[in-house]
Amino acid sequence: MADTTGMEAPASESLNDPSDKKKEGTEESHGSAQQFDGVAESLKGVTKNWSELKAAEGIMAAMFSGVLITIASICTRLAGDEGMPAIHAVFMNELMAAIVFLPIPFLLGTPVTGNTWVTLIMLLILGVGRMIAFICFFISVLYIPPANSFVIRHGIIPLLTASMEVLFLRVAPSAAEWVGIGLSIIGVILTASGRSWLKEDEELYLNILGNMLAVISAFGLAGLIIMTRYLLKTLPMWTLLFYIKLIGIMVAFPLLFLDPPFSGMNSNLSYYLDYPVSSHLTCVLFEEQHENMYGRHSCGHLRTLLLTPHKLLKDLCKTGEENLLVVIIDCNPVWWGRRQQQQAEPAQIVLSHCLDAIQVFVNSYLMLSHRNRVAVIASHTSKTHFLYPKNVPDPRLDQRRGEDGRYEQFATVDDTVVEEIKQLMTSDTATSELKTDTLLAGSLAVALCYIHRLEKEYQTGQQLNSRVLVIKAAEDSPSQYMNLMNIIFTAQKQNVVIDACILDKESGLLQQACDITGGVYLKIPQMSGLLQYLLWVFLPDLSMREVMALPPKVQVDYRAACFCHRTLIDIGYVCSVCLSIFCSFSPICSTCETAFKLAKPPMFKSKKKKRSLQNGGPSTSLL
């Protein structure tokens, strides 16, 4: 009984003691607080992870934007190499910016007007500064390639923006952002120090002037943005961009009357649109992303990280390519002399008419692109003569070029070719022996040597697309078969295309040359239409031939010439050692002096007879 009372007494005391109840409540509240702190820590972790995720998303978006910006600048340089004027590049840049940015405030419901007089004054100042920046940018593209000016603007704005934010907005960039700024400046330096629009050394100051104007344009844009943010902190970013792009297209609108960009625009449409669309559209897509990172200027820094390899990518693209056309003219005096006697016939053509057509064709080829080069070679019966270009200029031609108002390059080509052909046709008439075969193999060899020398002068990353056009008049010379075949396979190895324009009889050797190297072979149906055929068939480059309706390929005459008489044969004898071809059998090869062992006629053995004795007399039996 006592034990039971002793056990119940503490229990009753604990239930009735108020201090125990207070302690119990304190423990419960402490447990709830710990549970609440755990939930808060979990929420903080989720928020931190979410912010890190958004930051990573913004960084990846900015890097992707940098890729597109780099590709866009390369496309702009390609457009310039294809002949797009700088005025067109400036206008299309501002036009695409307006098309992309102007509808965004209306779609997002952002106000596009200021509600105070301070806002109105600041927007007017912004407009004046934007006009000055555009004028500097427009002048800069007249001295340097538009791609250089665009890349300088995109690369220099992050540095200027970060510097002004430190001075005015008191926002310090992080270490990672300074690394991005440094890489963007390196990319700008590499781009600005690359190929200039004016290659002459005496005009180097114009290149420096263009780069400085591009930097001033970027400085003006960055200053306007920082000033507007500093004075109008409540102004939405999309409103600011709306006014910047609106003023830009208004200032660029007069360029339509200077040089309409849509006149004559055909295959270069992608070049016109690629840069503006990709650059401005990526800016719109990722403008909101950089709000989730360290600051407003972070996207600009990360976007320019890929400007550093711009110079390398530029060299790997088509920007370093040039085109070379080598024209070989058959100046056989025997053949042209006969045509001169037959001039009364309407279907005939003389050498002077042929030269006029060739000059128009060469000038048209030079007008296609500023990266096109040309060389002219005369193939005579006694030698091969280089007509253009000449290493030693003629002072008489220099005095005559500016008198008639012709374009200097066209006048140089025309006058040089005419003077050199006159000297060639008059110098060898009385001194040389009369020959009837044109030295076509020697002319093709000189053309390939000239192409090879030019390719050696090019730097790594540059490319020379070469092709040879042979305008042949006289008949084939089978004696040049071996030399021609060696030259044809050499051209195939060097990726040099050989085209043939035949004025008289078919040429089996040139048919093989065109078929092996991938060129075009055409026999002129009417001699009076030589210029039309040259412009229609041989003026377009190799890429355009795939979409043109060219004359169908002829059946190639692959007959070989024998080594003994230099005549084309269908069936012959081939040396098993040096593969020389002969029209008749010879026991000794005249090329390698190999003596052939003639096979003896087959010997039929007589059947043996077996003798046997029968009845004491001889007898035979067949085995």
Least confident of 104-118, 371-385, 437-451, 591-605: 104-118
Residue 519 pLDDT more than 80? yes
What is the mean pLDDT of the segment spanning 532-544? 89
- pLDDT reading at 267 higher than 50: no
Of the candidate ranges 38-42, 298-302, 332-336, 531-535, the one whose mean pLDDT is the lowest: 298-302
| Number of residues written out for the chain | 623
- pLDDT category of residue 476 using cuts at 50, 70 and 90: confident
Cα(230)–Cα(223) distance, integer angstroms: 10
> Tell me, what's the pLDDT at 555?
82
Mean pLDDT of 16-38: 50
Q: What is the pLDDT of residue 315?
A: 41
Structure tokens at 492: 């195939």
pLDDT at 282 over 50: no
Q: Which pLDDT tens digit goes with each residue over 44-74?
A: 554 445 454 455 555 555 555 555 555 666 6
pLDDT digits (tens, 9 = 90+) for 137-167: 777 777 777 767 776 766 666 677 777 777 7
241 or 281, higher pLDDT? 241
DSSP-derived secondary structure letter, 590: T
How far apart are alpha carbons 502 and 547 in whole angstroms? 24
Pairing type for strands 609-614 and 568-569 reads unpaired
Contact 64, 121 (CB under 8 A): no
Q: Give the pLDDT of residue 359.
A: 93
List Cα–Cα distances, 148 to 214, 279, 302, 460, in angstroms. Answer: 9, 14, 19, 21
Cα 293 from chain centroid (whole Å): 37
Q: Cα(96)–Cα(270) distance, rounded to whole angstroms?
A: 13
pLDDT of residue 10 exceeding 70, the answer is no
DSSP string, 418-469: HHHHHHHHHHSTTTSPP-----HHHHHHHHHHHHHHHHHHSPTT-EEEEEEE
What is the per-residue pLDDT across 436-475, written as a single tens digit (0 to 9) for each? 889 999 999 999 999 999 988 876 556 788 999 999 998 8
pLDDT of residue 1: 40
Cα–Cα distance measured from residue 234 to residue 336, given in angstroms and rounded to the nearest whole number: 84
Q: Which of 309, 312, 304 is nearest to 180 (CA)?
A: 304
- What pLDDT sits at residue 487? 95
Give percent of the chain with pLDDT exceeding 70.
Answer: 48
- Please state at what angle helix 18-81 crosses helix 269-285, rounded to 10 degrees: 170
Could you report the per-residue pLDDT of 339-381, keeping only the tens digit for each?
777 765 555 668 888 999 999 999 999 998 888 999 999 999 8
Q: How far is CA 23 from the centre of its chain?
A: 83
pLDDT at 270 over 60: no
Which is more confidently placed, 134 or 262? Answer: 134
pLDDT at 24 over 60: no
With pLDDT > 90 as the criterion, what percentage of the chain qualifies? 16
Query: How many angstroms separate the CA atoms of 402 and 445, rounded?
Result: 35
Lowest mean pLDDT among 10-19, 145-154, 190-199: 10-19
What's the pLDDT at 513?
A: 93
Q: Please tell me the predicted confidence (pLDDT) of residue 187.
A: 60
Res 285 pLDDT > 50: no
CA–CA distance, 302 with 132 (Å, rounded to integer): 27
Structure-token pair, residue 216: 């001033």
- Average pLDDT of the segment spanning 247-271: 53
Average pLDDT, the chain: 70
Per-residue pLDDT averaged across 599-616, rounded?
A: 61
**542 confidence band (pLDDT: 50, 70, 90):** confident
Q: What is the CA radius of gyration of the chain?
A: 42
Q: How far is CA 158 from the centre of its chain?
A: 29
Name the pairing type of β-strands 617-622 and 609-614.
Answer: antiparallel
Averaged pLDDT for residues 596-611: 67
- CA within 13 Å, CB half, 151: 35
Element (H, E) at 106: helix 103-108
Residues 229-233: what's their mean pLDDT? 58
pLDDT value for 520: 93
Q: What is the chain's percent helix, strand, coil content, to nearest 5?
A: 60, 10, 30
Decide: helix, strand or coil at residue 266.
coil
Within 13 A of 280's CA, how many CA atoms are on the CB side?
A: 21
- Return the higher-pLDDT residue of 304 and 368: 368
**Looking at the predicted structure, is the pLDDT value of residue 128 above 80?**
no
Instruction: Count Cα neighbours of 392 within 13 Å in the Cβ-side half-sphere.
Output: 1
Q: Which of 221, 224, 202 is nearest to 213 (CA)?
A: 221
User: What is the predicted pLDDT for the residue at 424?
Assistant: 86
Residue bearing the bigger pLDDT, 549 or 446: 446
Which two three-digit tokens encode residue 378? 């005369």
Q: Which residue has the higher pLDDT, 532 or 164?
A: 532
User: Across the strands, what pairs with 84?
Assistant: none
Q: Which two tokens stand for residue 203?
A: 């005009």
Residues 449, 453, 454, 460, CA torsion sign: positive
CA 471 to CA 193: how far, in whole Å? 43
Handedness of CA 353, 358, 359, 361 (dihedral sign): positive
**What pLDDT digit, counting tens, does each position of 160-189 carry?**
777 777 776 676 666 656 666 666 666 666
Continuous H helices in 508-569: 508-517, 530-533, 542-545
Q: Which residues contact 302 (CB under 8 A, 6 or more apart)?
A: 59, 62, 63, 65, 66, 180
Global model pTM greater than 0.75: no
DSSP classification of residue 534: I
Both tokens of 570, joined, read 């269908």
Tell me whether the omega of the peptide bond preceding residue 346 falls within 30 degrees of 0, making it cis: no
